Amino acid sequence: MKNAALDKRNQKTGAARPTLLLALLAGFVLRLMHLGAESLWYDETVSVHLARQPLSAMFAHTAGDIHPPGYYLLLHLWQQLTAPTLQHGLEFLYAFPSVMAAMVGLALLYAIGRRLFNIKSALVAVTLATANPFQLWYSQEVRMYTTGTALGLLCLWALLAFVTGQHK
Query: How far is it, in rounded angstroms, from Cα 77 to Cα 47?
Result: 13
On whether the CB atoms of residues 43 and 66 are closer than 8 A, the answer is no
Using one digit for the tens of pLDDT, what is the confidence trace for 5-31? 544 555 566 788 999 999 999 999 999
Query: How far is it, in rounded angstroms, from Cα 9 to Cα 122?
Result: 14
Using one digit for the tens of pLDDT, what is the confidence trace for 91-133? 999 999 999 999 999 999 999 999 999 999 999 999 999 999 9
Q: What are phi and psi of 88, to 5 degrees?
A: -125, 55
120-128: Cβ within 8 A, 24+ apart: 120/16, 122/16, 123/16, 123/19, 123/20, 123/23, 126/20, 126/23, 126/24, 126/27, 127/23
Of residues 100, 111, 121, the one with CA closest to residue 157 = 111
- The answer to whether residue 85 scores a pLDDT higher than 70 is yes
